[in-house]
Structure 1
Amino acid sequence: MQVSSQTAHTKVKPNILFAISDDQSYYHTSINGCTFVKTPAFDQIARRGVFFTNCIAGSPGCAPSRSAIVTGRYPWQNEQAGQHASSWMKKYISFIDLLASNGYHTGYTGKGVDPFQYARNENDSLWRKGNAAGKAYNSIRYQKGDGTDPRPASGISDINYYENFKNFYNAKGASEPFFFWYGAAEPHRGLERGSWKRSGKTLKEVQVPPFLPDNDTIRGDLLDYAIEIEWFDCHLQKMLDFLKEKGALENTIVIVTSDNGMAFPRAKANCYEYGIHVPFAFSYPDGIQAGKIVEAPVSFTDIAPTLLELTKTTTKGMMPISGKSFLSLIDNSADSSDHFALSGRERHSYSRYNNWGYPQRALRNKEFLFIWNIKPKRWPAGDPQRLQSLDGKDLFPKFGIDTRGIHHPEWAFTDIDASPSKSFIIEHYKDKAIRPYFDWSTALRPEYELYRVSTDPGCLHNLSGLDDYQSIENKMKDLLVTELQRSGDPRITAPLPEIFDSYERYSGPVRAFPEP
């Protein structure tokens, strides 16, 4: 790492602003060439610091990914504290706790390390009492209809992230360093349909991913998604401007990323590129030379050890960290040719019989993505037909399509968030031109998948089993198994590999499905 002479001779601890959007794929920043999303704040951080072009989320779902960030461990290493909507066991100490012990003023606004169930009372003695992101600063909110509400879409959170950040900043001591977690709720589903029409955006500027049909419905859905990414980015810009005004920006580490990919079919809740490949920019003007691009894959588990190293904070108290600091990649002192990152998922929502998940593990290097679908006989997007009640036998119509041909997103394939894109693909699944998109999103999958993501980012051409790629597949499969064994993944090392399906859930709609 190239460190400025000023930093080398001072003991002032760097501040940290960690900004994380909710459900944004790597491809959707303007610095990456996206034509329908404008992200000047993200671009600023990428240009004045380091732009990581291959950051892989810990999971294609929010809770396990956020768990990986703050513990430096893979979700499968964290028991309930690595699973969506389960309990957070207090033995899984967050690196943010260690920063607080090292003199940092810590807090968050918006969505913290969630959704998890934290301790409700003394009976939850094994659970953490407060959010793993620190103290909440969410009291300042927009008031709809008061004439000053600037939100461009009705689905956007009423939390005023920027004003809450100012509140947090003003509460710290004059010489006290800070760690702040800015966790936007956007662009998570709940998007206002057609909100893009008030923005000056046009359908023709949209780049449609190859796994989605190209039509006005899909393009409009993507523009509604873009509106909310830009909302996240504009609050980040306000925070950066505020820090500059206070003279604190140069000594502030800024990280901008997203917890997982976009909430569209075959993206979020899938270990494909658009599910686990996320934007990632890192800047530290006092300590890191600007204008770097790192193409080597990095993992969410690498964030905690990097920040602990930069702040000279001990790891004492945390469970063993699996990630490694990425600072050596920035100064080119590490050989990055063999770098890789792991990701994986278990349960995402109540989407199968007996609340079963769809376990996946993935290994991503610079050019290829290898996926192990551990239970290939399960439906990857959730069961195609749901029971109408928890204790009944009557089923909703197949695929959630009623007698009028209208799709009901909560009736089937519920690991795909409700959206116009989901409904369009399912309602038109009998159309010859649409059927491939339906199958890509919902059909059963082989146990192993291999994609050359450098030329096939949509992950549509499975190379697994092909003679020309057998050597690559074997090496990646062996490496994945070795790393899962090393990290103690219960799926291959424990006497109870199904333990993940047994963890209790504490939020989200409860659904019932027939026994397969």
Structure 2
Amino acid sequence: MKYLIFGLIALSYFGITSCSSKKNEQLKRPNILFAIADDQSFAHTSFAGAKFLQTPAFDSIAKKGVYFSNCIAGSPGCAPSRSTIVTGRYHWQNEQSGQHASSWMKKYVPFVDLLETNGYATGLTGKGVAPFQYARNENDSLWRETNAAGIVHSNIRYENKTPEDERTAGGIGPVNYFENFKYFIENVRQNKPFFFWYGSNEPHRSYELDSWKRNNKNREEIEEVPGFFPDNEVIRGDMLDYAVEIEWFDLHLQRMLKYLEDIGELENTIVIVTADNGMPFPRAKANGYDYGIHVPMAICFPDGFPGGRIVDDPVSFADLAPTILEVTKTNSEGMLPISGKSMLDILQSNEQGVVDPLKRYVFSGRERHSSSRYLNWGYPQRMIRSKDFLYIWNIKPERWPAGAPQRIKPDTKDELLPIFGIDENGLHHSDWAYTDIDAAPTKSYIVEHHKEPEIKPYFDWAVAKRPEVEFFDVKNDPYCLNNLAGDPDYAGIEKEMKDALMNELRKSEDPRVVGPDKEVFDSYLRYSPMREFPKPEGME
């Protein structure tokens, strides 16, 4: 992926000042604005070269601050990935509090709590550390009561069909993120430094179909469709609807930055912008491939971090908690042992490219995503990523990676819905099959046309069973289509990464490796809607 040359990037609308500005003689404790999109792959910012969307707020942070070209999410799914952010631990270390739609236990203390104890005002708007089940009543005595990202202090929302409703697409949620942030600053913060979590619900699906048409977009703006999709008007339109929602996230971030500048706080605010996992399309979100775990990230701190740099070191979501604790001089006492490593040395460096040669690998993983298989089984994966290579261990290769191809009809004991979710009229119903893939025109097109020879490879890439080991040269194969596992030309790199992965899994006491119950992840209760699936063939 080619990045825009600094000199060609336009100045942002709000005129953010240089991150190389003079430090105050007595540096105040920094504020932190943490902005996280919901389902956005690394390639989809205008800073990264995407022409079919405009992200001026992200671009400004990336240009004036530090852009991380190899940021790897904790998981290709939202809940486990967000769990990694706030605990600094791999999701497999957090029991049910690292799994999708399970319960958040009190013992997994987020760094946000410690910031508040250390004198910070904390707040949240939008999607926090979710989806998790938090305590509902006194019977949930072991569960945390409030969201692990912070407290929602206000609930300012857009009202449908009013002059103030400026939303650009029907799929965009009602939360007015900027106004909630402004309320927090003016009514909650007082004179304290602040940590504020801006969690956009966009670009999570569902989207308004063809919203791009009234948002001045054109299919031809997409220079290249990801190689795991067919290139046609349906897929391009779906990507443009996705782009509309990314721009909505960026718009509210832009307003927050402008407001901080207006009140004189931008210089002393660390701004962190990222996304929880990749785009909600087949073979991206809920997959260990690069478009599932490789996300955008830029960090700017005018008073503290030399800017104008692109850093190629692989960094992990597990590294965020220790970084924030260190920069705010907050002790980690009270949290369980942190697995990530602080990035502060990288952020305070004047170098770019590979800054820390010793930081060679980062790790990610997944278990359950949606309710998509027999007995709510997941598709366990562990990933190790270097600057140039990605190694994936598919722990249960006998399972369907995107979910079972057929489910039991609701309110029946064993009546099956049509295979692949295709009805008698040839129409695909997303909730009937492969339900780890979000409902989407791209998904339906690929499934409905899977018998056509030119579409069959895309169908197989999205839903077919996979080998136990996959290994990719992501520098030259960002779409992860050429599996190099077993290739003698790469045997040395493959072995080194496998050994490094297994060492880290043993060190972090991953139950999938060290036990005692290697299947424990499939036993955790799910508090979101359930589906029933038939027993896989060959099981007694």
How far 1:6 moved relative to its partner? 3.2
Q: 2:206 aligns with which of 179, 186, 190?
A: 190
How far 1:470 moved relative to its partner? 1.1
Measured against aligned partners, the alpha-carbon deviations of 1:32-68 in whole angstroms (never above 9, x if no partner) come to 0001011000000011110000000000000000000
The letter of the residue matching 1:14 is P
Say whether the 8 Å CA contact 2:20–2:302 is kept in structure 1.
no
Q: Distance in 1 between matches of 2:153 and 2:449?
A: 45
What pairs with 1:155-166 in structure 2 (closer than 5 Å)? 155-166=171-182
Q: 2:530 aligns with which of 482, 501, 510?
A: 510
Counterpart for residue 276 of structure 1: 293
Q: Please state if 1:85 is matched with 2:105.
A: no
The letter of the residue matching 1:335 is D
Q: Distance in 2 between matches of 1:201 and 1:472?
A: 43
Q: Distance in 1 between matches of 2:497 and 2:180?
A: 45
Counterpart for residue 86 of structure 2: 70
Measured against aligned partners, the alpha-carbon deviations of 1:312-351 in whole angstroms (never above 9, x if no partner) come to 0000000000001112223159632552110000000100
Counterpart for residue 48 of structure 1: 64
What pairs with 1:255-294 in structure 2 (closer than 5 Å)? 255-294=272-311
The letter of the residue matching 2:429 is H
Q: What is the SS of the residue equivalent to 2:504?
A: helix
Q: Please state if 1:209 is matched with 2:226.
A: yes
Q: Distance in 2 between matches of 1:329 and 1:364?
A: 18
Q: What is the SS of the residue equivalent to 1:18?
A: strand
What pairs with 1:344-363 in structure 2 (closer than 5 Å)? 344-363=365-384
Cα-Cα RMSD: 1.3
What pairs with 1:17-416 in structure 2 (closer than 5 Å)? 17-206=33-222, 207-330=224-347, 331=349, 332=351, 335-336=356-357, 338-389=359-410, 391-416=412-437
Q: Distance in 2 between matches of 1:258 and 1:181?
A: 12
The letter of the residue matching 1:497 is K
Q: Distance in 1 between matches of 2:466 and 2:287?
A: 12
Counterpart for residue 489 of structure 1: 510
What pairs with 1:423-462 in structure 2 (closer than 5 Å)? 423-462=444-483
Q: What is the SS of the residue equivalent to 1:392?
A: coil
Q: Distance in 1 between matches of 2:361 and 2:189?
A: 41
Q: What is the SS of the residue equivalent to 1:399?
A: helix
Q: Distance in 1 between matches of 2:372 and 2:210?
A: 28
The letter of the residue matching 2:531 is R
Measured against aligned partners, the alpha-carbon deviations of 1:423-448 in whole angstroms (never above 9, x if no partner) come to 00000000000000000000000000
Measured against aligned partners, the alpha-carbon deviations of 1:194-220 in whole angstroms (never above 9, x if no partner) come to 000001110111131000000000000
Q: Distance in 1 between matches of 2:310 and 2:246?
A: 22
How far 1:148 moved relative to its partner? 2.2
How far 1:146 moved relative to its partner? 1.1
The gaps in structure 1 that reach 5 residues or longer are none
Q: Distance in 2 between matches of 1:218 and 1:336?
A: 39
Measured against aligned partners, the alpha-carbon deviations of 1:218-246 in whole angstroms (never above 9, x if no partner) come to 00000000000000000000000000000
Distance 1:15 1:273, change over 3 A: same
Q: Distance in 1 between matches of 2:139 and 2:409?
A: 34
Say whether the 8 Å CA contact 1:4–1:288 is kept in structure 2.
no
Counterpart for residue 471 of structure 1: 492
Q: Distance in 2 between matches of 1:232 and 1:74?
A: 27
Q: What is the SS of the residue equivalent to 2:140?
A: coil
Say whether the 8 Å CA contact 2:377–2:522 is kept in structure 1.
yes
How far 1:384 moved relative to its partner? 0.3
Measured against aligned partners, the alpha-carbon deviations of 1:257-284 in whole angstroms (never above 9, x if no partner) come to 0000000000000000000000000000
Q: What is the SS of the residue equivalent to 2:138?
A: coil
Say whether the 8 Å CA contact 2:40–2:203 is kept in structure 1.
yes
Q: Distance in 2 between matches of 1:413 and 1:275?
A: 16
Count of residue correspondences? 513
Q: Distance in 2 between matches of 1:97 and 1:442?
A: 40
Say whether the 8 Å CA contact 1:345–1:361 is kept in structure 2.
yes
The letter of the residue matching 1:167 is Y
Q: Distance in 1 between matches of 2:21 and 2:259?
A: 23
Say whether the 8 Å CA contact 1:138–1:160 is kept in structure 2.
no
Distance 1:40 1:4, change over 3 A: closer
Tell me the TM-score normalised to structure 2 length. Answer: 0.93
Say whether the 8 Å CA contact 2:313–2:356 is kept in structure 1.
no
How far 1:147 moved relative to its partner? 2.2
Q: Distance in 2 between matches of 1:375 and 1:230?
A: 37
Q: Distance in 1 between matches of 2:96 and 2:359?
A: 32
How far 1:138 moved relative to its partner? 4.6
Q: What is the SS of the residue equivalent to 1:6?
A: coil
Q: Distance in 2 between matches of 1:402 and 1:428?
A: 13
Tell me the TM-score normalised to structure 1 length. Answer: 0.98
Measured against aligned partners, the alpha-carbon deviations of 1:276-316 in whole angstroms (never above 9, x if no partner) come to 00000000000011101110100000001111111000000
Say whether the 8 Å CA contact 1:386–1:411 is kept in structure 2.
yes
Q: Distance in 1 between matches of 2:424 and 2:188?
A: 59
Select between 330-339 and 475-484 the one with higher mean Cα deviation: 330-339
How far 1:389 moved relative to its partner? 2.5
Q: Distance in 1 between matches of 2:248 and 2:50?
A: 16
Say whether the 8 Å CA contact 1:58–1:299 is kept in structure 2.
yes
The letter of the residue matching 1:99 is L
Q: Distance in 2 between matches of 1:159 and 1:95?
A: 25
Distance 1:314 1:338, change over 3 A: closer
Say whether the 8 Å CA contact 1:21–1:183 is kept in structure 2.
yes
Q: Distance in 1 between matches of 2:99 and 2:394?
A: 18
The letter of the residue matching 1:200 is N
